[in-house]
Structures are given as C-alpha cells and as structure tokens.
Amino acid sequence: MDDTPSIEQAAFSVESSSLSDQLAAIRLALKTSPVRRQLLWVSIGIVGVVVATSIGQVLLNRWNQPFYDALARRDLPGFLHQLMVFAAIAGSLLVLNVGQTWLNQTIRLKLREALTLDLIDEWMRPARAFRLTHAGAIGVNPDQRMQQDAGHLSDLSTDLGVGLLQSFILLVSFIGVLWELSSGFVFQVGGHSLAIPGYMVWAAILYAGIASWLSWLVGRPLIRFNSDRYTREAVLRSSMVRVNENVDAIALAHGEADARRQLELDLGGVLGAMRRIYGAQINLSWVTDAYGWITVVAPILVAAPVYFAGDISFGGLMMAVGAFNQVNSSLRWFINNIGAIADWRATLMRVADFRIALGETDILHAKERRIAFGENANGKLTFDELEVASPDGCTRLAETDVEIKAGERVMITGDPRAGKTLFFRAIAGLWPWGGGRIGMPAGERPFFVPRMPYFPLGTLRDVLNHAEGAKIDDAEISAVLGEVGLERLSSQLDRSARWEHELADDEQRLLAFARLALRKPKWVIIDEALDTFDGATLRRVLAMLQARLPDAAIVNIGRGLHSNQFFPRALTIVKDSGRSALKPARLRAGAIEPPPTAARARK
C-alpha cells in the first residue's frame, strides 16, 4: 500500500492568481522560449500587413464617392475607370488578406510551440511532476492543460490579438476620415443652423459604447461558466482514463455498473456546465444580433438629415456610410468577441495558473523545516537525526544516527503504516519536509528502484539502455534476462511496445532488476520491489544481484521477509503519530497544500 499521506488528512488553502499574475506568467514563458525570435518577427510581419490592409481599406472607402457619383451621373467612361481602380485595390487587398491568413496560422503554431515547450520544461524539472501530483486539484490532468488548453489558448490569443490590432488600426485610420466627412454636416432646427464637429464620430462612439456595455453585462457570466466547464471536462477525462487503466480489475469485480454510474455523473456535470454556457450565449445573442440588424440602417439614419437637406451628394453619403461602418466595426470588436474573450479568460486562467503552480511547488511549505541534504567525503550513506514529516506524524529510524558503508547490504523494515514509501521518497529527494540530514556518498548517484518501475516508449533495447553511458552488448542483455527468468524477451530486443501493458507486474519488476544489473551502480535503494516475488523468483533475483553487483551497497526498504544472508543488517522504521511538523501553507494558482496524496483528488 502507498503510505503517503492522503489528501483527506490535510487542511487546504486555495488562493487564485490575479489576471496580472497570469499575464506575467505567460509573458515569462514567451520571453524564455527558444522560438521567441521567430514569434517576434512573425508578429512584426502581421503588424505590417494589417497596416497595409488598413491603407487599402481607406483607399477603397475613398473610391466609393467617385464610383457612386459616376453612377448617379450615368457617366459610363467614369464608371469603367472606377471599376479598374477597384480591381487594383481589391487585388492588393486579396494578396494582403492571404498573407495575413498565413501569418495568422504561423503565429498560432509558434505560440503553441512556445507555450507547450515551456510547460513541458517546467513540468519536467527534477521532482516537480511528482510534487505537483501531491499539490491537490491543480495537479489533476496536467496533460490536458499542456495539450488541449495550451493549444486553445494559442488559437484564441492569436485570433483575438490580431482582430484587436486590426480594429485599432482601422479605427485610427477611419476616425479621421469620418471626422472630416461629418465636419460639414449642418442641421436645420427651427430655422437655425446647428453644426456639430465630428458629428458621425460621436454618433458611432455612443452607438458602440451602449452596445458594448449591454454586451458586457449579459456576457460576463460566460467567464465563470467556461472555467467551470473546463474543470468538469477535466474530471470526466480523468475518470475515463482511470476506468481505462483499470478495466481488468473492474471486470473481475463486476464493477461496470459503478464505473458507468460515475462516468454518467461526471458527464452530467459537463452537460450541465454546457447548458449554462448555451443559456448565457442565447441571452448574449439577443443583444449582439439586435445590434447587428440595427447597424444595417444606423449610419444611413445618422447621415440622412444632412443628405435630404442637400448638403452632400449620394456618393458623399455612401462614403460617409462606409467610413461610419468601418469605425463602428472597429468599436464593436468587443461586442463581437465577448464570448471568445470569456473563453480566452477562462483558458488563460487554467494555463497560467498551472505554470505558476509548477514554480510554486518548489516553495511549498517554505516556512516548514526541511531535510538537509549533503555529500559525505568518506563515501558513506548517513542518516543523522532524520525525521520525515507528514500531516499524521513523523517517520524516522529507531536509531538516531545511522551509517551505511560501501558494499553493505541493509534491510529497513517497519509496520505497514510506518511510512516506508515516504522514507524511500525522502532519500530520493522527492519529499523534502522534515528534519535532520541525509548524507549521500560523494560523487555517487544511487539507483532507485520503486515498487512499480517506469519504462520509456521504445524498443526493449532502448528500455534497457535508457541511461547515460555506453550502449550495452546484446549478449550481455540476453544473459541478464535469462538470469531473472525473462529469456523469452531476448528475441524481442528490437520490438517497440508499451512494456507496462505487455508485461505482468512481477515481470515488470524483473525487467527493472535486469536493467539495474546492466547499469552496475555502486549504490542501490529499493522500495518494496522484492516483496511480491515468490521464494524461487526472489532467490533467482538475489543470486543475480550477488553475481552482477558484488561490491554494490544495497538498501532494501520492505517487509523484512528476505534472506538474512543477503541482508545481514537490519534497521527499523517507526512512526511517531503524536508529532507532525507539516502544516498547511497557502499558494496561489489554486494549488492545494500540504502536498498530500499519491491518489489524485477528483475536484
């Protein structure tokens, strides 16, 4: 059993990061990315294309007046000339639009590459992934945050960012045009002339401002609803993965009904969240769609009094209407994208909070005592007044100060809930909370053997060669496989497979000991990996270790049921439940402390 403290045993404290913290986290990720220069140049390129497109839009708007005036005069040569001008402008805009599409897709690609590489790099820092799984809800489904959420954030950020840039440049370009066009508008009111400088500019701003305010009031709940949906999607995905990984146990226990019931509950949570989103989107549609229909006639209604007074020509009216629509289109960017902005905000929260939590896992319980780690020049492994803290007590050795010499074989055992796995993780540096000192032999890198081994994807030869140093000879690999009883695998060295699925649990452990023998380390720390073997298998493995690692120091943490001849020295782990040096701390980014469980919280 895993005796790591469970998440239910600890008190929790959650503090979400602010928007400024989230943006700072993403900015840091991009600043340190290996593709930052490419991303910068592509961004500069799209700014240039957007500016050029805006110039083309201004020219196209100016084209409206001579074109419609030529129509009004029935001037055929003038009409044909303006068609040629239109072809030149439209052709240029077509090239720019295609270029912008290519740059847009390139930014998406580079942005996703930058974000995902950064998250993977932060996640794969030594011991971080392990600690994150013990940090509560923020550590659930990190794969979804790095793959799905990072990709979605890249797409939304690109679309919204380019759209906002384009709207801003068009606004700057056309607001001056619209101001100039409406500067001559004079209203006749009760026999008096009333001139309003920039009349259509103010009308466009007021019109878009009211619509934006209404859209924000109606659409703001979408941020919360989207965040809730992504959380529930993560829970459903986690449940499905859990069922898929335990299909054999579920079938043997006839637990399909319970598994289906849990999946149905999780699916119901997702569907409920989606219904809330759809309801909010329908409410938002009442505002945005009504605004869109009114916009069809709004600029003409605004300019109609001046046109019917005879102060502008039909071509001038169409030019003013076009400029109004461009300004209004720029100002309504927020209205058109309120749903996407809410989605972006929710996705940013998930990705940025995850990245912040990755960094803060290194400072969990910064105020708590930590185990000191050092090196011993005399080449010994030492435990000096070592205490491993957890919420339900302190795990320690019965002896206060322990020295283990090179080549020594030591058995460390204790009661089932004494904290043997916690002690193993403390030696490996994965669980640093507690007191005392662990001294490693200077210049040595111990080989740690957990209860269940990890095998990378690849061929069996790659699995066994998965270490720094020279490649191992195939004949030696075959010999070691035969010594542990896996001779049938000698003919499969070039086959790629997911070996954790191909082999039974005991076969995986045997393969791990074969890999250990091929590495030939001088120090070995084992966590209960020998405890599941039957007598014959255990004798075979110990004989292989004796022959292959005659001078290695081997420390076995387990039940103590092994040969006293192989492990002549015995130490005992005890647990003091009356002492607990580990207390809850507060982290941002939704991380939950203290680092509690091997079984992830389903929240």
Q: Is the pLDDT of residue 201 over 50?
A: yes
Q: Is the pLDDT of residue 83 over 60?
A: yes
Report the mean per-residue pLDDT for the chain: 80
More confident residue, 413 or 195: 413
Average pLDDT of span 217-244: 81
Q: Indicate the Cα dihedral angle 120, 140, 372, 423, nearest 10°.
A: -120
Which one, of 161, 163, 198, 156, lies nearest residue 180 by Cα?
198
Average pLDDT of span 54-79: 84
Average pLDDT of span 470-474: 75
Q: Is the pLDDT of residue 586 over 60?
A: no
Measured between alpha carbons, how far is 61 from 292 in angstroms, rounded to an integer? 21
Query: Which burial class, exposed, middle or buried, applies to 5 when counting CB atoms under 10 A from its CB (0-12, 13-18, 19+)?
Result: buried
- Looking at residue 8, its pLDDT comes to 31
Please state the φ and ψ torsions of residue 189, each to the nearest 5 degrees: -125, 110
Q: Is the pLDDT of residue 127 over 80?
A: no
Q: Is the pLDDT of residue 463 over 90?
A: no
Burial annotation 492-521 (CB, 10 A radius, 16+ → b, else e): bbeeeeebeeebeeebbbbbbbbbbbbbeb
- Looking at residue 404, its pLDDT comes to 94
Q: Which of 45-59, 238-252, 270-284 has the lowest mean pLDDT?
A: 238-252
pLDDT for 160-179, tens place per residue? 888 888 888 877 777 777 77
Are 268 and 294 in contact by the 8 Å Cβ rule? The answer is no
- Looking at residue 418, its pLDDT comes to 84
Other CB atoms within 10 Å distance of the CB of residue 549 = 19
Q: Is the pLDDT of residue 460 over 80?
A: yes
Please state the φ and ψ torsions of residue 150, each to the nearest 5 degrees: -65, -40
- Looking at residue 548, its pLDDT comes to 92
Structure tokens at 359: 């960094």
- Reported as a pLDDT band with limits 50, 70 and 90, residue 251 is confident
pLDDT for 326-341, tens place per residue? 777 777 777 777 778 8
- Reported as a pLDDT band with limits 50, 70 and 90, residue 556 is very high
